Amino acid sequence: MDTPSSSTPVTLEDVARRAGVSPSTASRALNGSSRKVRGEYQVRVHAAAVELGYIANTAAQAVARGRSEHLAMVVNGINDDYFSPVAAGVLKAAEAADRMVTMISSRNSAQQAAQVVSALRSQRPRAIILAGGRSVASTRWEERLVEELAAFQEEGGRVVAISEEGMPFDTVSLDNVAAAADLAGAMAGLGYRRVTILGGPADARTAHDRVRGFVAGLAEHGVEVPPSEVLHCGFDRDGGYSAAGECLRRRVPAELVLAISDTVAVGAIARFREAGMSLPADMAVAGIDDVTVLRDVAPALTTVRLPWPEAGRAALDLALRPTEAEPRLVRMTGHVVLRESTPGIGGG
Amino acid sequence: MDTPSSSTPVTLEDVARRAGVSPSTASRALNGSSRKVRGEYQVRVHAAAVELGYIANTAAQAVARGRSEHLAMVVNGINDDYFSPVAAGVLKAAEAADRMVTMISSRNSAQQAAQVVSALRSQRPRAIILAGGRSVASTRWEERLVEELAAFQEEGGRVVAISEEGMPFDTVSLDNVAAAADLAGAMAGLGYRRVTILGGPADARTAHDRVRGFVAGLAEHGVEVPPSEVLHCGFDRDGGYSAAGECLRRRVPAELVLAISDTVAVGAIARFREAGMSLPADMAVAGIDDVTVLRDVAPALTTVRLPWPEAGRAALDLALRPTEAEPRLVRMTGHVVLRESTPGIGGG
DNA sequence: CTTAATGTGGAAAGCGCATTCCATACGGAA
DNA sequence: TTCCGTATGGAATGCGCTTTCCACATTAAG
């Protein structure tokens, strides 16, 4: 009790000795074995275990069994604000399934992701969940990443990607293109014609898809967006802020700014306000994601609700299901939520 | 390549054979051992490892060494929005330190926490970080939790608590009382006299401390808050929303609502708006935490900035440092951020 | 040139557990 | 009563890796 790190963890053998049985029996009694143990021994072993405060050594179990039951997740480039919903969804589902999940963040690059997956593999987890952040071009590192993942799967592991349709693994896909197109369509329906797109990083897959959706959705309603009206910027609040500044410098200001995400939209709003504009009177703004904490702010932001937490849960479900021959695809779609920030033009 | 789960992970022995050395040598070459291996063997082993795609089995290492190098973290009651900052801080720091962290969420109760810590212990991690959520009274389950943690420490593990001063472990403390008191003091300085407190759950430690700080800070400036003006509610947006409803039913409405957190404040604001009030003209509102995404909303929320991500990082630093005789305490304080939501009364 | 000190590879033991295999006890059928 | 099938405990083996411990050079010291 005095010196630190003095005691040593109690092992299964300790329990067995205490209960007066063999380690084999103790093992069978304490964990779900196919073999049965006589009732009397059963209770004696359990009693000994609680008396001694025995906690099974998962590492040892993993090596004896050849594979652990843990789950691993790589979060690609956590954004302080934004990392939450999908990770929270996964964690909550894991809680319900009584699992632990090991998280590791990769600095947003596929190179890191490959290394990180390799590190994860060393844990021999049951499944690896990959969240977000591929880039547009299929780089050499992307290939490495896929290879690494494929090797893992080859060894009996499960791989689930979130939001990354196109990988040869089980995938939970949030249809970014459709979400953006729906929103754009709705905006066109409200009468907006001159729109500027805050497009996020040029090389991020998600950003790219959303921009594509915006453009397509508007085009469908006869609204063309000249390439000069697609502004690239960071994927966060500051990105939106500075891109909005750029926007202000245009001769003919837009009627509507379509931001690639709510966070970017918030940054833009801040910049517009700073310039003395009154929202939504002077400028309409919409985003994508429907970040919860933003639902109540003024002007309430028009957005597309994307079921991120549900996607996390779905990913975990897939991860827990046994591998099948064909990669499965769970597709989730968002729906447009009209709020005050886009009152519309014709009707106003 | 055809059937799934066909291949089997390559082991250290495979590498050794390929390199024409003994497993011992391979082990020494591949991992940081105190022993040296001849240069030639060194490169041969490494070459063999990459050729074969060897990935060390951490579980086996953990059992051989007696302890793993992983970090574990229990997040107490993840709130979809709010879980972010501290977890993100920890994860980022872990990334920098090249560590993985296993997260597990406990349903906000100490009972769950005790079970969860026990599960974590089975991994034999190097450290366990405990984030948030103790209750006011020291229940039997809290004791169990501390016991569990103490046993873990006794076995050589490190324990770090965030925001939970008073446990016999290394602690990163965010001074909730002081934060609330500072804010309250500032508000009193702005001339507010009739204030209602949205106090969160009656039994949550953090909430309790903040309410205490509010009351004390106001009292210091001669402002008394009758107990009837402390409204208890959930710790989230909906809690704030409904508590604000209660608030509206009062005869003499308050001039200022002090919410226990930004999220609660946002809920309250939503309710007030719904009632047709104009903010901040009709009602001033302030919160605590300074949630990033809320910084730009209108009316910009007066709050106390609490360095949650930094706390996460600090916790990880502590976790990586060797145990010392005395539990260490890292105290972090917030600072008041005045924004539009509390324009003040005298000066306005 | 001998002897001790040092460096380095390999054999073997061990980490905590699951599991296969063997031994024993028991029940029922003949 | 004998024989076989079944149930269940225990010894032994193995999982992948680290770490003594030992053997064998080399080299430095005498």
CB-side exposure of A158: number of CA atoms within 13 Å? Answer: 26
Tell me A228's DSSP state: G
Residue B304 backbone zone (phi > 0: left; psi -120 to 50: alpha; other: beta): beta
Element (H, E) at B253: none
| Residue A300 contacts B where some CB pair is shorter than 8 Å | no
Residues in chain B: 348
**What Å value separates CA A5 and C1' C15?**
18
Per residue in A117-149, pLDDT (tens digit) is 888 999 999 999 998 766 666 677 778 888 999
Nearest residue to B86 via CA among B103, B100, B111, B98: B103
pLDDT of residue B88: 83
pLDDT of residue B326: 83
Is the pLDDT at A4 greater than 50? The verdict is no
| Residue B63 approaches strand C within 7 Å at CB | yes
Minimal CA separation from A279 to chain B, in Å? 10
| Strand nucleotide closest to residue A16 (CA to C1') | D10
Per residue in A276-328, pLDDT (tens digit) is 998 889 999 999 998 877 777 768 899 999 998 899 999 999 999 887 778 89
Per residue in A255-265, pLDDT (tens digit) is 999 999 998 99
Is the pLDDT at A5 greater than 70? The verdict is no
| Residue A337 contacts B where some CB pair is shorter than 8 Å | no
Could you tell me if B59 and B49 are in contact, meaning their C-beta atoms sit under 8 angstroms apart?
no
| Residue A30 approaches strand D within 7 Å at CB | no
What DSSP line would sit under A34-57, residue for residue?
SS---HHHHHHHHHHHHHHT----
Please give the Cα distance from B125 to B128 (Å, whole number).
7
pLDDT of residue B337: 95
* φ and ψ of B123, to 5 deg: -85, -10
| Residue A205 approaches strand C within 7 Å at CB | no
Minimal CA separation from A136 to chain B, in Å? 24
The residue assigned the tokens 């689930």 is: A160
A298: nearest CA in chain B?
A: B298
List the nucleotides on chain D closer than 7 A to a protein CB.
Answer: 7-12, 14-20
pLDDT of residue B3: 43
Token representation of residue B125 = 């991690």
- Which alpha helices (H) appear in chain A, and where do they start and end? 12-19, 23-30, 39-52, 58-65, 84-96, 110-121, 140-154, 176-189, 205-220, 237-248, 262-274, 308-320
Please give the Cα distance from B153 to B175 (Å, whole number).
25
Please give the Cα distance from B164 to B160 (Å, whole number).
9
The residue assigned the tokens 């700014």 is: A257
More confident residue, A271 or A6: A271
Q: Quickly state the pLDDT bin for A81 (edges 50, 70, 90).
A: very low
Report residue A249 CA to chain centroid gap.
35
| Residue A119 contacts B where some CB pair is shorter than 8 Å | yes
Q: Quickly state the pLDDT bin for A344 (edges 50, 70, 90).
A: confident
Minimal CA separation from B31 to chain A, in Å? 13
Q: What's the first-to-final CA gap in chain A, in angstroms? A: 74
pTM score, whole prediction: 0.88
Mind listing the pLDDT tens digit of every residue in chain B (348 residues)? 434 456 789 999 999 999 999 999 999 999 877 888 888 899 999 999 999 999 999 999 999 998 898 999 988 765 545 566 888 889 889 988 888 899 888 766 666 777 888 889 999 999 999 987 666 666 777 788 889 999 999 888 999 999 777 888 999 999 999 999 999 999 999 999 999 999 999 888 889 999 999 999 999 999 999 999 999 999 888 999 999 999 998 877 889 999 999 989 999 999 999 899 988 899 999 999 998 777 777 788 999 999 988 999 999 999 999 878 788 999 999 999 999 999 988 644
pLDDT of residue B187: 97
Please give the Cα distance from B206 to B310 (Å, whole number).
18
Per residue in A218-263, pLDDT (tens digit) is 999 999 999 999 999 998 889 999 999 999 988 778 899 999 999 8
Residues in chain A: 348
Vertex A325, ends A322 and A327: CA angle to 5°?
85
Tell me B102's DSSP state: E
**What Å value separates CA A239 and C1' C8?**
57
Q: Quickly state the pLDDT bin for A2 (edges 50, 70, 90).
A: very low
Please give the Cα distance from B266 to B279 (Å, whole number).
12
pLDDT of residue A36: 85
Which segment of A210-219, A263-272, A339-348, B125-134 scores lowest on mean pLDDT?
A339-348
pLDDT of residue B297: 74
Helix, strand, or coil here: A127? Answer: strand
Element (H, E) at B88: helix B84-96
Q: Quickly state the pLDDT bin for A30 (edges 50, 70, 90).
A: very high
| Residue B17 approaches strand D within 7 Å at CB | no
pLDDT of residue A348: 41
**What Å value separates CA A60 and C1' D14?**
12
Neighbour tally for B99: CB within 10 Å: 20
Nearest CB among A7, A119, A292 relative to B100 is that of: A119
pLDDT of residue B346: 67
| Residue A121 contacts B where some CB pair is shorter than 8 Å | yes
- With a pLDDT cut of 90, the percent of chain A lying above it is 58
Vertex A300, ends A297 and A301: CA angle to 5°?
115
Q: Quickly state the pLDDT bin for A50 (edges 50, 70, 90).
A: very high
pLDDT of residue B200: 92
Please give the Cα distance from A217 to A179 (Å, whole number).
9
Nearest residue to A121 via CA among B53, B292, B270: B53
pLDDT of residue B43: 94
